[in-house]
């Protein structure tokens, strides 16, 4: 049976910063913004990904790539 491994996005962001220093700040920010978007999406929908709930408001069909220009450079 396959085991699903949960990774902590905050730990991933720390690891990037520790490995690359301030050069990895953009990647760390990307990780944190993506996680914040997932949390906001789950709160709006009223259910976690792949979860069925009577409180569910709507459905989501996935993600599309987006590039944002920040002080740290372009983040995808």
Spatial distance between the Cα atoms of 9 and 50, rounded to a whole number of angstroms: 19
Q: What is the token pair recorded at 34?
A: 């993506």
Average pLDDT over residues 17-28: 92
* Percent of the chain scoring above 90 in pLDDT: 34
Average pLDDT over residues 40-49: 90
């Amino acid at each position: 049976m396959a085991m699903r491994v949960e990774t902590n996005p905050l730990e991933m962001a720390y690891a990037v910063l520790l490995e690359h220093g301030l050069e990895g700040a953009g990647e760390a920010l990307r990780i944190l913004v993506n996680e914040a978007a997932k949390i906001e999406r789950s709160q709006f929908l009223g259910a976690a990904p792949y979860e069925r709930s009577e409180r569910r408001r709507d459905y989501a069909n996935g993600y599309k790539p987006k590039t944002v220009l920040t002080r740290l450079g372009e983040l995808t």
